[in-house]
Amino acid sequence: MKKFYIVLILFLIPFFLFAEGEKETQQVLNSILPGLVSSENGKTDEISIDMAKLERLYRFVDQYYLYDIDKEKVYEAMASALFESLDDPYTYYVAKEEKDDYVESALGTYAGLGIQFTKTRLEYKDPNDIKTNYCLIDTIFPGTPGEKAGLRTGDYITAIEGEPVDEMEATECAQKMKGEPGTEVTITVLRGEKTFDMSIEREIVKIPTVNFTIIDNKYGYIQIAEFTDTTTTKVKDAIEDFNKNNVDKIIIDLRNNGGGDISVALQIADFFIDSKKLLTINYKEGTEADTVFYATKDTIVPEETECIVLVNSSSASSSEILTGALKDDNRAVIIGEKTFGKGCMQIVTPFAEGYISLTRARFLPPSMEPIHDVGISPDIEEPSLEMTDEEFEIYQNLFDQKVFSKYVDDNPEFTKENINAFTIPEGEVREQVLRILIRNEYLSRLPSEERLIPDPEYDKVLQRAITYFETGK
């Protein structure tokens, strides 16, 4: 009987302590901030209620928590939580410690792999959702180590130098992938259900904006990798060069262009379209009237000039604005794959000691057909040439063994003869794929400003565009 009472008392004491503590806690909380703020119309304002609750909770923790509180860390966590709770990949808070990497990425010059990725902050990761645990590659810039190594948009990076990334913030992942030019970094990639390692040599990466040339003295070719403050001028230079050389067929290559400044995309559309609607920006109801943009009469591309736009599944945002305007006006034929489907715009601005990106509005092309999560379908579908899983596995082994780089070392002249003479020691890879792979190795040795050498023989989508110009179908 004694044992029974002893056990009973041991269980009861913690219960009473907890119950009494709960009353005391509630009294303290109620006394810290007694009132709730109301809005001007007399109705209870939910934000005021929530902020009052949060302040009471924060002051309670500050007053009674046993250890010192890092208030800067608390603030950063609360700000990040606000944005994370919106469940929008384009709305986020860049904390103070991540600001330098964010600005560096925006400026576009660093020693690394030439990729952009997103990663959920650690406090919001879900162990059962890979999207919240790993680095998701959303952009691979042309002519960079990442492209040469065979990385793809949609790949996940699960580890860096053997260290899993699921316990790293995005900033730490970025720092580990960067390093001295010429050094290697090994990343573990998840593609579908396959996981493999890739050792990639870092380079100084200068994110390109615009390159242009004339193919076969007949076809003007403009590659736009990103819409920045210098893009408009460079595209204008390209068009003026085409006009001077009597080029009446233009190809605009927006493949793998993830977007950028919307106003720049509209300025470029204005070069081609005369006095027509280009874009409607739709804001939150009750905040601002829709904004509609029209082209001016200041076109610089002659009306008789035929135009084609090349797109793929990584053409997004401002790329879709330009594509939609040219397509809906019947000013250009769209060739390639359905675009990504990012039909919303963000405010990006410094805030406190960090940055914020906030989805502000949705945009609609002249047809008013939605773009977001839908994309723009091409007039002529022509998928990009991609390696099969078996071909990629062979390529990965050859890349790790430096077969491509050794061949170019031994045959440094960038000629069609050297490209066609390249063979591999084992495995089966389609000849067209093999030629593209060794050609990419040659291109990677050139200065960035000389890497634009479009050749329809190695680019089936570009080849399809030229066929359309020649045959009308």
Gap between the Cα atoms of 423 and 426, Å rounded: 9
At the top level of CATH, the class of 210-381 is alpha beta
Residues 6+ apart with CB under 8 A from 466: 215, 219, 456
Residues 6+ apart with CB under 8 A from 313: 153, 337, 338, 339, 340, 375
Write out the two tokens for 175: 């720092």
Centroid of chain to Cα 241 = 31
Gap between the Cα atoms of 347 and 43, Å rounded: 30
Which residue is listed with tokens 């190594």?
Answer: 149
Task: Tell me if residue 163 falls in helix, strand or coil.
Answer: strand
pLDDT tens, per residue, the chain with 473 residues: 433 333 333 332 232 333 334 455 455 445 544 444 444 555 568 899 999 999 999 999 999 999 999 999 999 899 989 998 998 888 988 887 777 766 665 555 567 898 878 787 787 778 788 778 899 887 777 778 888 888 887 789 999 999 999 998 887 898 899 888 889 999 999 988 889 999 999 988 776 689 999 999 999 999 998 898 899 999 999 999 999 999 999 999 999 888 889 999 999 999 999 999 999 999 998 889 999 999 998 899 999 999 999 999 889 999 999 999 999 999 999 999 999 999 998 888 888 888 888 999 999 999 999 999 999 999 999 998 888 888 888 888 888 888 998 999 999 999 999 999 999 877 789 988 999 889 988 887 887 667 778 889 889 999 999 999 999 99
> So where are the chain's domains?
2-69, 96-206, 210-381, 389-471
Gap between the Cα atoms of 80 and 94, Å rounded: 8
Residue 257 near residue 315, CB atoms below 8 Å: yes
Strands 249-253 and 135-140: unpaired
Residue 119 near residue 136, CB atoms below 8 Å: yes
Fold classification of 96-206 is Pdz3 Domain (2.30.42)
Q: Which of left, alpha, beta for 49 (phi over 0: left; psi -120 to 50: alpha)?
A: alpha
pLDDT digits (tens, 9 = 90+) for 321-341: 999 999 999 999 999 999 999
- Best CA proximity match to 463, nearest among 263, 287, 165, 251: 251
Residues 6+ apart with CB under 8 A from 455: 439, 462
Instruction: Give the Cα-Cα-Cα angle 377, 430, 253 (nearest 5 degrees).
Output: 35
What is the value of pTM for the model shown? 0.74
Give the single-character DSSP code of 318.
Answer: H
The full DSSP string for 395-431 is HHHHHHTTHHHHHHHHS-S--HHHHHH---SSS---H
Gap between the Cα atoms of 148 and 287, Å rounded: 46
Helix axes 318-328, 262-272, angle to 10 degrees: 20
Residues 6+ apart with CB under 8 A from 319: 224, 227, 254, 257, 258, 259, 265, 311, 339
Dihedral of the CA atoms 200, 400, 141, 256 (nearest 10)?
-150
Strands 333-336 and 306-311: parallel
Task: Tell me if residue 271 falls in helix, strand or coil.
Answer: helix
Q: What is the pLDDT of residue 207?
A: 65
Task: Tell me if residue 338 falls in helix, strand or coil.
Answer: coil
Type of residue found at 101: D
Gap between the Cα atoms of 429 and 238, Å rounded: 37
